[in-house]
Amino acid sequence: MLTDFYDIAMANGYLKNGIGDKTAVFDVIFRQIPDHGGFAIFAGLAQLIERLSMLRFSPEDISYLRGKQMFSEDFLAYLEHFRFSCDIWSVEEGTPIFPNEPVIVVKGPLMQAAWLETLILNTINYQSLIATKANRIVRAAQGRRVIEYGARQAHGSDAAVFGARAAYIGGCSHTSCALADCKEGVPAEGFMAHSWVQVFDSEYEAFRKYAETYPDRCILLVDTYNVLKSGVPNAIRVFDEVVVPAGFRPLAIRIDSGDIGYLSKRARKMLDEAGYADVQIIASNSLDEYIIRDLMLQGAQVDAFTVGENLITSKSSPVFGAAYILAAVENDGVLVPKIKTSESIEKVATPHFKKLYRLVSNETEMCVADLVSLYEEEIQVDKGITIFDPNATWKKKYLTDVTARSLLVPIFEKGKLVYTSPSL
């Protein structure tokens, strides 16, 4: 029942007009890359598979629809005995994707295929958005670890869990969300909060008690009072008195406020002089890819970043905007292409039943272009191929010495799951 009401109304209408079993093809596309980036990252397929595998209608669902007094008994009987029977192809999670290309293709009875619109978009929009944002942040960090730390700012518990999962797909190393680790296998990592330091009578005592509790994974938050005058000196003292005598090496300190560039450089010097050149410095404090890029340009001595609300909500670009577009409908046994014209050229989608290929240079093994073709069209790239922009067809490019890799893999065949989701 995770659908928009108009999809239910249309399904009833399709059945009443005798076209509910017509074969239809729908594409999932998106039109703009978040944050004006160069590409997006696809995510959410595993959860989509789970939802589609459980697609059925309970007696309570049927009773609810009957109570609306607008649906035929034939339609309600169809739902009561519903069996999912669509074919679905999709790009795999973690794949870079581009606007106006089919990232999911649904083919099946019109009543079913049309009904799936909201369920599919609801599932992949958010995770693709967060995976894309995470990837932007990870690339800005230039090889430093990025830890997703946004559960408390997420828009609900599902967003916390699946946002952490998507961030991991986008390149984050860990999450702060224990439930994401428990349910989805995203490795969780956590440090002390300022409240731990405040609970004790002194910062030194707080650090010492934490180190005595976790000598093998000691990470201390050094900015509760003063990073350079008390935080780092007290951390070094506890490392000397507790962690090293216990036979371990301290892992890191964390700075959560102030001028991270300046403070990290001073803290690095203090740690190195004390014999802790191996201790990492973790930075936090409402970070995003732009702040991290600036810190890198400043030469900040930061080994890892924790990123919260700006990642888990994709604050700077909070909508992914994937759309569910009718591409073809069967007529007398033949698929007929369908297109919606628009006053805005970017909203005119490519019609018909299609395939999606990624063209890869045989020399460099780098991806050079994507190619959308008709499903039954035979693609021959061994002798070169001319490609063009679908919105500006006069823009053409001739490519040679490339290999075409199919991006859309079978997920369901006649409603039966044929794809095995890889582990994270």
CA-angle at 314, arms to 313 and 319, nearest 5° = 95
**Residues 228-251 pLDDT 10s:** 999 999 999 999 999 999 999 999
Q: Which residue has the higher pLDDT, 321 or 348?
A: 321
**Residues 128-181 pLDDT 10s:** 999 999 999 999 999 999 999 999 999 999 999 999 999 999 999 999 999 999
Q: Based on the number of CB atoms within 10 Å of its own CB, is 52 exposed (0-12), middle (13-18) or buried (19 or more)? A: buried
**Residues 29-62 pLDDT 10s:** 999 999 999 999 999 999 999 999 999 999 999 9
Q: Based on the number of CB atoms within 10 Å of its own CB, is 345 exposed (0-12), middle (13-18) or buried (19 or more)? A: exposed
What mean pLDDT value characterizes the chain? 96
The C-alpha atoms of residue 308 and residue 330 are separated, in whole angstroms, by 47
The pLDDT value given to residue 347:
76
With contact defined as beta carbons under 8 Å apart, do 156 and 312 qualify?
Answer: no
What tokens does 292 get? Answer: 């991290």
- Return the percentage of the chain with pLDDT > 70, whole number: 100
- pLDDT of 396 above 90: yes
Q: How confident is the model at residue 307 (pLDDT cuts 50, 70, 90)?
A: very high
The pLDDT value given to residue 420:
95
The pLDDT value given to residue 142:
97
Q: What is the dihedral of CA 119, 124, 125, 130, to 10 degrees?
A: 150
- pLDDT of 343 above 80: no
Strands, E assignment, 6-90 = 23-29, 40-41, 87-90
The pLDDT value given to residue 348:
82
Q: What is the mean pLDDT of residues 78-84?
A: 94
| 200 C-beta neighbours (distance < 10 Å), count | 14
The C-alpha atoms of residue 407 and residue 124 are separated, in whole angstroms, by 17
Strand-pairing partners, residue 89, are: 105, 410
This prediction's pTM: 0.95
* N- to C-terminal Cα separation, the chain: 29
Q: What is the dihedral of CA 288, 290, 291, 296, to 10 degrees?
A: 120
Give me the amino acid identity at 128. Answer: S
Q: How confident is the model at residue 383 (pLDDT cuts 50, 70, 90)?
A: confident
Q: How confident is the model at residue 345 (pLDDT cuts 50, 70, 90)?
A: confident
The pLDDT value given to residue 189:
93
The pLDDT value given to residue 314:
96
The pLDDT value given to residue 177:
97
Q: How confident is the model at residue 390 (pLDDT cuts 50, 70, 90)?
A: confident
The pLDDT value given to residue 227:
98
The pLDDT value given to residue 349:
84
- pLDDT of 392 above 90: no
Q: Quick one: residue 136, left, alpha or beta (phi over 0 = left, psi -120 to 50 = alpha)?
A: alpha
The pLDDT value given to residue 340:
84
In angstroms and rounded to an integer, the radius of gyration of the C-alpha atoms of the chain is 26
Give me the amino acid identity at 76. Answer: L
Residue where the block lists tokens 């430093």: 144
Q: Which residue has the higher pLDDT, 23 or 191?
A: 23
Angle between helices 5-16 and 73-80 (to 10 degrees): 110
DSSP H or E stretch at residue 399: strand 396-399
Q: How many residues does the chain have?
A: 424
The pLDDT value given to residue 241:
98
In order of their start, the domains of the chain are 191-285 (3.20.20.70)
- Return the percentage of the chain with pLDDT > 90, whole number: 92
Q: Where are the alpha helices (DSSP H) in 90-116?
A: 110-115
The C-alpha atoms of residue 352 and residue 238 are separated, in whole angstroms, by 67
What tokens does 88 get? Answer: 């679905």
Q: What is the mean pLDDT of residues 109-136?
A: 97
Q: What is the mean pLDDT of residues 192-211?
A: 98
